[in-house]
Amino acid sequence: MTAHSATARAHARTGGPKDDGPRTLEHLAGWTLVVVVAMLMTQLGLL
């Protein structure tokens, strides 16, 4: 085992962009937030 591979294994994963996750759920939550903010702005008369 080389020094580089030993160092790479010692680091913990931080959940960066290469992390695979529930992308459908993430997109659904994001669009839901957009719709809720738009509805709130409309109700407050800001749009």
* pLDDT tens digits for range 10-21: 667 676 666 666
Q: What is the pLDDT of residues 1-47, one digit of tens each?
A: 565 555 556 667 676 666 666 788 889 999 999 999 999 999 999 87
> What pTM was estimated for this model as a whole?
0.53
Q: What 3-state DSSP class applies to 24?
A: helix
What is the b/e burial string over 18-46, where b = at least 16 CB atoms within 10 angstroms of the residue's CB? eeeeeeeeeeeeeeeeeeeeeeeeeeeee
Please give the pLDDT value at position 20. Answer: 63
Per-residue tokens: 30? 């994001």
Residue 23: per-residue pLDDT: 83
Q: What is the pLDDT of residue 24?
A: 87
Instruction: Give me the residue label for tokens 């994963």.
Output: 13
The answer to whether residues 31 and 24 touch, using CB atoms and an 8 Å cutoff, is: no
